[in-house]
Amino acid sequence: MAHIIAVANQKGGVGKTTTAVNLAASLAHLEQRVLLIDMDPQGNATMGSGVQKNDLLYSVTDVLLGEAPIETALMQTEVGYSVLGANRDLAGVELAIAEQEKREFILKNALQAVSHQFDYIIVDCAPSLSLITVNAMTAVDGVIIPMQCEYYALEGLADLTQTIDRIQEGLNPNLSIIGVLRTMYDGRNALTRDVSAELQEYFGSKLYNTFIPRNVRLAEAPAHGVPVLYFEKRSKGAKAYIELAQEIIQKNKG
């Protein structure tokens, strides 16, 4: 069975999509069978994987609305993993499913049909704690929380951990925080080091040893529709995400 992981933080711009895309590519590079699911109407993970979000025949929206079986909506990419894409249509799903029975379990139920085909399923969440994000968290085994080591990083963390606890109690008893990832890390900056120390204290062994440095190649790659491994594989960013993938695979073995 696949390890199913959401990349979530309701704070915007902390590196969720960069992490989801580059972790998917790095796990695939390490010979894992990977599916990346875009659960954000911005469609950034879709585009960052070289899939045109506005040309999708089927998207995650169709799967959530029960209009296409998940098998039909999965796409092969040229970057080593499969994608279930998203675009702005996803924004309308929230209302459409709001009154539905078992509305939190739609993604979970859909995944049952394909999870045996993969070693890892990575779900990129939007910066919100909406019903769409709740669907993601109900479907996964755990959450990776990317955090930027800046002054406001810890703000909002209580909301996120409360949401995770609530979903764990009511909807998904397996759910846990599997790891906290420092993104856009700049070790020369004293504030970064202070916040990093705070994260270490708060999360202990859940804080990944790997951190992702601020690296311009990571920011440039999406414009080319590829993960950084396919753009500049010798970059610090590419190496860091490979190291993260190795750390995750290693933790799953132990």
Ligand X SMILES: Nc1ncnc2c1ncn2[C@@H]1O[C@H](COP(=O)(O)OP(=O)(O)OP(=O)(O)O)[C@@H](O)[C@H]1O
Q: What is the binding site for Mg ion (CB under 5 A)?
A: 16-17, 44
Binders of ligand X among residues 181 to 210 (CB under 6 A) are 183-184
Q: Residue 146: in which H helix or E strand, if any?
A: strand 142-148
Phi, psi at 144, each rounded to 5°: -100, 130
Residue whose Cβ sits closest to Mg ion: 17
Q: Do residues 94 and 136 touch, judged by C-beta distance below 8 A?
A: no
Binding-site size, ligand X (CB under 6 A): 20
* Shortest distance in whole angstroms from residue 253 CB to Mg ion: 29
* Shortest distance in whole angstroms from residue 240 CB to ligand X: 8
* Angstrom distance (rounded) from CA 198 to CA 206: 13
Under the criterion CB under 6 A, does residue 66 sit at the interface with ligand X? no
Q: Binding ligand X by CB under 6 A: which of 38, 40, 89, 232?
A: 40
Cα-based torsion angle of the residue sequence 203, 23, 153, 90 in order, rounded to the nearest 10 degrees:
-120
Under the criterion CB under 6 A, does residue 127 sit at the interface with ligand X? yes
* Shortest distance in whole angstroms from residue 12 CB to ligand X: 4
* Angstrom distance (rounded) from CA 122 to CA 186: 26
Residues 6+ positions from 166 with CB-CB distance below 8 Å: none
Residues at the interface with ligand X (CB under 6 A): 12-18, 40, 42, 44, 127, 183-184, 212, 214-215, 218-219, 222, 237
